[in-house]
Amino acid sequence: MESEKITEFKTPPNFIKNIINEDLRTNKYGGRVHTRFPPEPNGYLHIGHAKSICLNFGIAQEYGGKCNLRFDDSNPTKEKTEYVDSIIEDVRWLGFDWEDRLYYASDYFDKLYEFAVQLIKKGKAYVCDLSPDEIRRYRGTLTEPGIDSPYRNRSIEENLELFEQMKQGKFPEGSRTLRAKIDMASPNLNMRDPVIYRILYAYHHRTGNKWCIYPMYDFTHCISDSLEGITHSLCTLEFEDHRPLYDWFLIELGLYRPQQIEFARLNLNYTVMSKRKLLKLVEEKFVDGWDDPRMPTISGLRRRGYTPRSIRNFAERIGVAKSDNVVDISLLEYCIREDLNKIAHRAMVVLNPLKVVIENYPEGQIEEIDAVNNPEDPSYGTRKVPFSREVYIEREDFMEDPPKNFYRLAPGREVRLRYAYLIKCKEVIKDDDGNIIELRCTYDPLTKGGSAPDGRKVKGIIHWVSVKHCYDAELRLYDHLFNKENPEEEQDFTMAINPNSLKILNAKIEPFLINAKPGEKFQFERIGYFCVDTKYSSPGKPIFNRTVTLKDTWAKIKDKL
Q: Which residues are catalytic?
A: 40, 265, 275
Question: In the complex with ligand ATP, which residue's Cβ is closer, 50 or 119?
Answer: 50
Q: How many angstroms separate the CA atoms of 467 and 30, rounded? A: 70
Contact (CB, 8 A) for 146 and 173:
no
Q: Does 258 bind ligand ATP (CB under 6 A)?
A: no
Q: How many angstroms separate the CA atoms of 357 and 391, rounded? A: 7
The residue ranges of DSSP E strands in 200-301, in sequence order, are 213-215, 232-236, 259-263
Binding flags for ligand ATP, 12-41, as an x/- string (CB under 6 A)? --------------------------xxx-
Residue of 118, 186, 274, 388 interacting with ligand ATP (CB under 6 A): 274
Q: How many angstroms separate the CA atoms of 54 and 114, rounded? A: 34
Residue of 265, 280, 355, 484 interacting with ligand ATP (CB under 6 A): 265
For residue 230, the minimal CB distance to ligand ATP (Å) is 12
Q: From 196-204, 268-276, 368-376, 540-548, give the range in contact with ligand ATP by CB under 6 A.
A: 268-276
Q: Does 68 bind ligand ATP (CB under 6 A)?
A: no
Main-chain dihedrals φ then ψ at residue 229, nearest 5 degrees: 70, 30
Question: In the complex with ligand ATP, which residue's Cβ is closer, 321 or 366?
Answer: 321
Question: In the complex with ligand ATP, which residue's Cβ is closer, 39 or 58?
Answer: 39
Q: How many CA atoms lie within 13 A of 524 on its CB side?
A: 30
Alpha helices, H only, 242-328:
243-252, 275-283, 298-304, 308-318
Residue 4's closest CA among 390, 302, 295?
A: 302
Contact (CB, 8 A) for 181 and 123:
yes
Query: Which residue has the CB atom at the shortest distance from ligand ATP?
Result: 48
Q: From 46-54, 310-318, 414-422, 512-520, give the range in contact with ligand ATP by CB under 6 A.
A: 46-54
Residue of 120, 199, 235, 465 interacting with ligand ATP (CB under 6 A): 235
Q: From 187-195, 241-249, 265-273, 503-511, give the range in contact with ligand ATP by CB under 6 A.
A: 265-273
- Is 391 strand, coil or helix? strand
Contact (CB, 8 A) for 389 and 361:
yes
Q: How many angstroms separate the CA atoms of 330 and 342, rounded? A: 19
Question: In the complex with ligand ATP, which residue's Cβ is closer, 166 or 273?
Answer: 273
Question: In the complex with ligand ATP, which residue's Cβ is closer, 39 or 146?
Answer: 39
Question: In the complex with ligand ATP, which residue's Cβ is closer, 49 or 167?
Answer: 49
Contact (CB, 8 A) for 345 and 522:
yes
Q: Does 49 bind ligand ATP (CB under 6 A)?
A: yes
Q: Does 486 bind ligand ATP (CB under 6 A)?
A: no
Contact set with ligand ATP (CB under 6 A): 38-40, 48-49, 51-52, 235-236, 265-266, 273-275
